[in-house]
Chains A and B, each alone.
Chain A
Amino acid sequence: MQYMLLIYGDEKQRARVPESERNAVFQQYMDFTQGIVKSGHFRAGDALEPTASATTVRVKSGQAVTTDGPFAETKEQLGGYYLIEAKNLDEAVAIAARIPAARMGGSIEVRPVMPTPKVEK
Chain B
Amino acid sequence: MPIAELYREQYGRILATLIRVLGDFDVAEEALQEAFAAALEQWPTQGTPASPAAWIVATARHKAVDRLRRRAWLHKRRDEIERHLQASAPEDDAPVPDDQLRLIFTCCHPALVVEAQVALTLRTLCGLSTEEIARAFLVPGPTMAQRLVRAKAKIRDAAIPYQVPPDRELGERLDAVMAVVYLVFNEGYSASFGSQVVRPPLCEQAIRLGRMLTELLPAQPECRALLALMLLHDARSSTRVDQNGDIVLLEDQDRASWNHAQIAEGAALVEAVLRAGPPGRYALEAAIAALHAQAPRAAATDWPQIAALYGLLVRVHPSPVVELNRAVAVAMADGLERGLAIIDQLDARGELASYHLLSVARAELLRRLARLEDAAAAYRRALGLVKNEVERRHLERRLSEIEG
Contact = CB atoms under 8 A, between A and B. Distances in A.
The answer to whether A binds B is yes
Contact of B158 (A87, A112, A117, A118): A112
A90 B76 contact: no
A119 to B, nearest CB: 10
Contact of A89 (B74, B77, B159, B169): B159
B75 A1 contact: no
Interface of B: 74-77, 109, 111, 157-161, 165, 169
Nearest to B156: A112
A88 B160 contact: yes
A95 to B, nearest CB: 13
A34 to B, nearest CB: 24
A118 B73 CA distance: 12
26 contacts: A1-B159, A87-B159, A88-B159, A88-B160, A88-B161, A89-B109, A89-B111, A89-B158, A89-B159, A89-B160, A89-B161, A90-B160, A90-B169, A93-B111, A110-B158, A112-B157, A112-B158, A112-B159, A114-B157, A115-B74, A115-B76, A115-B77, A117-B74, A117-B75, A117-B76, A118-B75
Contact of A118 (B76, B109, B161): B76
A93 B75 CA distance: 27
A35 to B, nearest CB: 19
A39 to B, nearest CB: 17
Contacts of B157: 112, 114
Nearest to A1: B159
Interface in A1-60: 1
A7 B161 CA distance: 23
A66 to B, nearest CB: 33
Interface string A88-110: 11100100000000000000001
Contacts of B158: 89, 110, 112
Given A89-B161, A117-B75, 5 more contacts: A88-B159, A89-B111, A90-B161, A112-B158, A115-B77
Contacts of B111: 89, 93
Interface residues of A, number: 12
A114 B76 CA distance: 11
A88 B165 CA distance: 12
Nearest to B165: A90
A88 B155 CA distance: 10
A112 B75 CA distance: 18
Nearest to A116: B76
Nearest to A113: B157
A110 B109 CA distance: 15
A14 B161 CA distance: 35
Contacts of A114: 157
A110 B169 CA distance: 19
Interface in A64-104: 87-90, 93
Contacts of A90: 160-161, 165, 169
Contacts of B165: 90
A118 B75 CA distance: 7
A115 B73 CA distance: 13
Contacts of B77: 115
A1 B165 CA distance: 19
Contacts of B159: 1, 87-89, 112
Contacts of B76: 115, 117-118
B105 to A, nearest CB: 10
Contacts of B160: 88-90
A84 to B, nearest CB: 12
Nearest to A115: B76
Contacts of B109: 89
A36 B270 CA distance: 46
Contacts of A93: 111
Closest 5 CB pairs of A and B: A88-B161, A88-B159, A115-B76, A112-B158, A89-B158
| Residue among B158, B161, B165 with max Cβ neighbours from chain A (10 Å) | B158
A57 B165 CA distance: 44
A112 B158 CA distance: 5
A89 B75 CA distance: 21
A4 to B, nearest CB: 12
Nearest to B111: A89
Most A CB atoms within 10 A — which of B75, B109, B159, B165? B159
